[in-house]
Amino acid sequence: MRLKDKVAIITGGSRGIGFATADKFLKEGASVVLAASSQESADVAVDKLKEKYPNAIVAGISPNLASMESVRKAFKEATEKYGCVDILVNNAGISENTSFMDYTEETFDKVMDLNVKGVFNTTRVAAECMVARGKGVILSTSSMVSISGQPSGFAYPASKFAVNGLTVSLARELGPKGIRVNAVAPGITETDMMKAVPKEVIEPMIERIPLRRLGQPEDIANAFVFLASDEASYITGVILSVDGMARS
């Protein structure tokens, strides 16, 4: 098992890509603490995973990721129970498609608070014990639109550009301290949100993807497992596109 005896915290871990990543990490032997927007959501996800992996260590937390104090308190409680975090996966995020001229300061702040400030807060807190031990892995979910942009909802690609900048910069700064920092940039992925999109909308999208299919949450989770494992021990500062070449 590639992640045996590792402790991982995964934000946005109650559904979609985050839940698939928690599942794969548990399968690979990690202990997983998943963070969700509510404790109820976290508990439901934990129950599902415990049913599948009855002997695994899996727990749920629900800090306000936009608050450093809230993150610090939740992570402290988790690490006191399960040990210093070896792997952080910053997956929590929100997207929306408001046109630029309709954008408000509140909408912009809502996206940035979770997608950028949230990543900073969790990374800053998790990095403390990683630096002290001289090892660790920090991973984040970016997006294909961090490369290609999108025609509306500009704050989402802007936030993912920021995640890419954080990833590359921290790879340089934290590399000498034994910490690898990478990101995965998913393409159009068949999450619950996409399953609600009408077939007549989905089919033209698939036709524009060279691999002729939507991504699955497991495709992204597989990339996170690889980047978290020792197989990627000489990989840092990478934004790994997992999108079937949809970005082109």
**80-100 tens-digit pLDDT:** 999 999 999 999 999 988 999
Model pLDDT, residue 248: 59
The string of pLDDT tens digits covering residues 107-132 is 999 999 999 999 999 999 999 999 99
Q: In what order do the strands lie in the sheet with 239-242?
A: 58-61, 31-35, 7-11, 87-90, 136-141, 179-186, 239-242
Does 234 qualify as catalytic in the annotation?
Answer: no
pLDDT for position 193: 66
The domain limits of the chain are 7-242
32 close to 8: Cβ distance less than 8 angstroms = yes
**Mean of pLDDT values over 3-16:** 97
- 162-194 pLDDT per residue, tens: 999 999 999 999 999 999 999 999 999 998 767
Q: Is the pLDDT of residue 137 over 90?
A: yes
Q: Which top CATH class is 7-242?
A: alpha beta
Compute the mean pLDDT over every residue in the chain, rounded to the nearest whole number: 95
**Which listed residue (53, 82, 103, 156) is catalytic?**
156
Residues 52-79, mean pLDDT to the nearest whole number: 98
